[in-house]
Amino acid sequence: MIIPEFEYVSPQSVQEACALLVQYGDSARVLAGGSDLLVKMKDGLMKPAYLVSLKNLDSLKAIRYETGTGVIIGARATHNEVMNNRLLQEKYRSVCEAAHSMAADQIRNIGTVGGNLVNAVPSADLPPILIALDARARIVGSSGERTIALEDFFLGPGKTVLEKGEILAAIIIPDQPTTGSNYIKFGLRRAGALAVAGVASSVTVSDGTCRDVRVVLGAVAPTPMRARQAENVLRGKKISRELIDETGRIAAAESKPISDIRGSIEYRRNLVNVLTRRSLKAAIEKGHI
């Protein structure tokens, strides 16, 4: 397989990267791990004239905690870096598990958080758990920086709110009262399979009552989606098996899956139902795993 010709640039600063992206406009693409972009280019699905590599931008790589802000995951952090990060393992193991559910070591060693999000593939594994944890996206552009809820980041398959010249710099998981979170991916093989459906949840539980909850569905709508009606079933209520069952059913009903070679609409709805229940149960009983 042959990759079409392109010009490779590797700016030394985020500002320079943004400036180059503005200058080249639609003919440029950001290159992170390339595990998605290069495959598409080889398949002839994309022919950018310029690839703006982020590889020199070490400021985008760190995973750290900032008091008052929360856990900051640099967009260039790879899936294996996320998976093996001590801080995340302690605070939000669910994120590490989601990273672990992806691909295999080869891809996890190069694929990045930023690439996974900006790609905006409905089946991507990181968005659901990050949205469930109320993550924010820090976006840097030539005219400054903005931070938005990750939930509002996705517009459709392959489409995000990023404007020309903007780069996703980091994901922030804010400090939060949640007591548990969890992501379950259902793939058709134990490794190297994309999600047929994925469900993430986070819960804030005290005294057997669900004070708050988020349920986020992957691979069953054009973008990762909050199952808000399902959340409403559980929020503020005393937790019971019946209620969780009901949450699963409602989540399935509000999901918007399509049929494709990985699964039919009906099957995906069933998976949403089952995985929602299981994810909530795990988040309630086991914390952030």
Ligand X SMILES: Cc1cc2nc3c(=O)[nH]c(=O)nc-3n(C[C@H](O)[C@H](O)[C@H](O)COP(=O)(O)OP(=O)(O)OC[C@H]3O[C@@H](n4cnc5c(N)ncnc54)[C@H](O)[C@@H]3O)c2cc1C
Is 267 an interacting residue with respect to another protein (CB under 8 A)?
Answer: yes
List the one residue out of 268, 205, 278 whose CA is nearest residue 247. Answer: 278
Give how far the C-alpha of residue 101 lies from the chain's centroid of Cα atoms, to the nearest Å. Answer: 12
Nearer to another protein, 11 or 187 (CB): 187
Part in contact with another protein (CB under 8 A); list of ranges 211-219, 224-232, 234-242, 265-273: 265-273
Q: Which two tokens stand for residue 251?
A: 């989540």
Out of ligand X, another protein, none, which partner does residue 216 contact, by CB within 5 to 8 A per kind? none
Binders in 56-95 for ligand X, by CB under 6 A: 75
Q: How far apart are CA 113 and CA 7, in angstroms?
A: 24
Q: Which residues contact 157 (CB under 8 A, 6 or more apart)?
A: 120, 121, 122, 222, 223
Cα-Cα-Cα-Cα dihedral sign, residues 249, 251, 254, 259: negative
Could you tell me the smallest distance in angstroms from the CB atom of residue 183 to ligand X? Answer: 11
Q: How far apart are CA 135 and CA 119, in angstroms?
A: 17
Q: How far apart are CA 130 and CA 70, in angstroms?
A: 13
List the one residue out of 72, 40, 45, 44 whose CA is nearest residue 59. Answer: 72
Nearer to another protein, 34 or 263 (CB): 263
Which residue from 28, 98, 139, 271 is in contact with another protein, where contact means CB under 8 A? 271
Part in contact with ligand X (CB under 6 A); list of ranges 24-32, 83-91, 171-179, 233-241: 24-32
Which residue from 46, 49, 262, 287 is in contact with another protein, where contact means CB under 8 A? 262
Applying CB under 8 A, which residues contact another protein? 1-2, 104, 186, 188-194, 261-264, 267, 270-271, 274
Q: Which residues bind ligand X (CB under 6 A)?
A: 29-37, 39, 54, 75, 102-103, 107, 110-112, 114-116, 118-119, 124-125, 162, 167-168, 192, 194
